[in-house]
Amino acid sequence: MAIDELTDSKNLSNREKYIGVYIGILAVMLAICSMGGDNAAKDATIKNIEAANTWAFFQAKNARRQALRLQVDDLELRLAMETSMGEELRKKVTERIADYKAQDAKLTSDKERMEGLDELWQKGKALEKERDDALKRDPYFDYGQAFLQIAIVLASVAIISGGNFLLIVSMTIGALGLLSTIGGFTLLFPMPF
């Protein structure tokens, strides 16, 4: 039967066995490359969301700080203009100004909770950098997957055709796929295209 002939290892030449192993290695590299690409895409999305949330929090705190500063300016102006203000009221307004300035300082930098504007700025920039790194990695994996898939197809056709030209082309393209995959994980070299 035909199926018995296909599974009988005596009918397979050494060349076909080696090409089969080569295709298996390419498939493993393709799986690793695909995993790297998926992780890079997920990381880019997650870091983008985290950065957007951080910047929204930053903007809300900055708006609150600006409102406090406007209140301080208004109260200081009233203190300067209203000389007839009683001493007790003047003291309350001065205390309110001091309280607002303390809140302003805490909104600007909150080392304890790491939620001051200074800390949020640094966190937002760090998240953007992580997002950008993940976005840089993704094209390496895209090209790596394409190269490895083409290499698998060419190696399969080389088994059928019996020629070595397609096998050599497959190995060359497979090497490009491996390099692209390594580049995606390490960013050691820039993408030439």
Are 26 and 151 in contact by the 8 Å Cβ rule? The answer is: yes
Question: What token pair was written down for 109?
Answer: 């930098």
Quick one: CA torsion of 180, 181, 185, 187, rounded to 10 degrees?
Answer: 0
Are 111 and 119 in contact by the 8 Å Cβ rule? The answer is: yes
Tell me if the pTM is above 0.85. Answer: no
CA pair distance 55, 180, nearest whole angstrom: 34
Going by C-alpha positions, the residue among 120, 113, 108, 97 that lies closest to residue 64 is: 108
- With a cut of 90, say whether residue 171 has pLDDT above it: yes
pLDDT per residue as tens digits for the range 41-98? 999 999 999 999 999 999 999 999 999 999 999 999 999 898 888 899 999 999 999 9
Q: What is the DSSP letter of 164?
A: S
Q: What is the DSSP letter of 12?
A: S
As a whole number, mean pLDDT of residues 142-170 equals 95
pLDDT at position 11, please?
55
Percentage of the chain modeled with pLDDT above 90: 84
- With a cut of 90, say whether residue 2 has pLDDT above it: no
pLDDT at position 3, please?
42
